[in-house]
Amino acid sequence: MRIILASQSPRRRDLMEREGIPFCVLTKETEEVSDPSLPPEELCALNAGAKAEAVAAEHPEAVVIGADTLVFIDGHPLGKPADEADAKRMLRELQGRTHCVCTAVAVCMPGGERRDFAEKSYVTFRRMDDAAIADYIRRVPVLDKAGAYAMQEHSELIVEKVEGDVDNVIGLPVRRLLQVLGLRA
């Protein structure tokens, strides 16, 4: 079974490699939907599906995995920050509060079958002043991360607790993916 990860995310690659899943990375440019009126699972699912379908159209013999992760606070999505000021704004908004991280995964199987799912985790941030936020941004490259933070990089500085799958917060709920692929019980 040839597996293609339709994502350039180094975090998703690391999670797949950690599980020993043989795969290659191929991506195709897709336009992301950013409609804040959609529920988290639906918005992420649309984007994950578009990524997987674009690659599967050129590789119908392969299992193609597309994923999309967004951070939601008060029902609205926080994508990747536009710049450092936007990252600081996002971290200020998240500090001292619990937010939802939703990852949707679209799996295109050979023969056209789709196996899709979405996972939610809840992350509570510590209270932080502007100096703590600036320190975190100095330590972690946040501009390519939804919500302007990385669970796997110095999360002890910002995260108080996580309810749910930590891998989901990083960007790919691997245990559930392995079940969907039939690789683990």
Residues taking part in catalysis:
68
Please give the C-alpha separations between residue 90 and each of 78, 111, 140, 143, 179, in angstroms, as whole numbers.
Answer: 7, 42, 14, 11, 34
What string of H, E and C letters represents the secondary structure of the chain? Answer: CCEEECCCCHHHHHHHHHCCCCCEECCCCCCCCCCCCCCHHHHHHHHHHHHHHHHHCCCCCCEEEEEEEEEEECCEEECCCCCHHHHHHHHHHHCCCEEEEEEEEEEECCCCCEEEEEEEEEEEECCCCHHHHHHHHHHCCCCCCHHHCCCCCCHHHCEEEEECCHHHHHCCCHHHHHHHHCCCC
Report the alpha-carbon distance of residue 114 to residue 63 in Å, rounded. Answer: 10
